[in-house]
Amino acid sequence: MVLVDLSTGTLVAEPDEPATVLEPSADHETLVSAAGGNAGPIAVLFPSFADGRGFSLARMLRDRLGFTGEIRAVGSLIPDQSQFLLRSGFDTAEIADPGAAETWKKTLTIIGRSYQPSARNPLPLRWNASAKAAAELDRALAATDDLVERIKLIAERIEGRIAFSTSVGLEDQVILQAIAKSGVAKSGAEIDVFTLDTGRLFPEVLETIELSELRYRTRIRLVAPDAREVEELVSRDGVYGFRQSVENRKSCCEVRKVRPLNRALQGAQGWIAGLRREQSQARADVPLAEWDAERGLIKINPIADWSDKRLNDYIDANNVVVNPLHAQGFVSIGCAPCTRAIEPGEDPRAGRWWWEAEDKKECGLHVAESERSAVPVAHREKAA
């Protein structure tokens, strides 16, 4: 048997014998007696891996009885318990195999953040996205003109999963190329790249996804809508019912795009999107970073301030993978039945839902819930 120091992962030379060995069933009087004796280390027995009562005993010794001496874990232990033992108040752990000490040391560093306070916090508490952090990031992004540097800033400032929802349009392809070039994923940043597979994508979109994965060596996850919800939607409104009214179309977007997006964003701390101010009047004031209170994350638009010229110049200079539909007059590309090519001089989003009025045509992905609620409740509930 050897003893591992849980604060460093190193072996303890010439450890003291424990003054007391506590069974997991020890009552309050036994704990008081052990803590008051102060004659040496207190050992807490773990009779099996599944028995977690020892963690509670260590917490009571530290928090309730104020014991400051060494608490040692003995018995059936595995390396994965190292950080939890340390956070519960243990100082050392007795292991049978000296060769396993290196594994114990590695497990002490594999987790970077704690989710809640403990008897001992060797790690900082988990970083949480906030409105203040969003405002600070917005200013930091505005201070640099280089897209790759902006991606690095995003990865540095946001801890945890960063979701990148891509439509593989021009803006998103530029961002994907910059993410790959920045190397942030290789440096440990958790960038989750996904696209919404509505079931009605152009074949060219799927081909562009495959080419992008090969070029940038990045998996692009396909996020599909709930099959039952789609069946109920089509049963109610018809295959092309979204052309019958704005309400029907918004219900279709809600089921095929908005709800899958919200599921994909759950648990993310940041959300990267390809919005630009020049795309439409409704997006004229899009910030580089903002707080999304409804989803509880920071939404980042790293090229919000780019002009059309700068976007195209970047694509040409970096040989960015481009959807072939763009060369055929498709500027803003959504689902195939809802997208057409535009004529020279038309608004970039004129090809989306062209049978509707031009004012604020949005699918709901980048619209607050309070604004999407303009869809009649009946439509929203029936689609649920």
3-state secondary structure of 136: helix
Catalytic residue (one of 252, 335, 338, 363): 363
Q: Is 29 left (phi over 0), alpha (psi -120 to 50) or beta?
A: alpha
Say whether 363 is catalytic. yes
Give dist(CA 157, CA 140) in Å, integer: 10
Answer yes or no: are the C-beta atoms of 311 and 170 closer than 8 Å. Answer: yes
3-state secondary structure of 170: helix
Answer yes or no: are the C-beta atoms of 21 and 30 closer than 8 Å. Answer: no
Kindly report the length of the chain. Answer: 384
The DSSP-derived string for 181-225 is: HHTTTTTT-EEEEEEE--S---HHHHHHHHHHHHHHT---EEEPP
Q: Give the number of other CB atoms < 10 A from CB of residue 351.
A: 20
Active site (catalytic) residues: 363
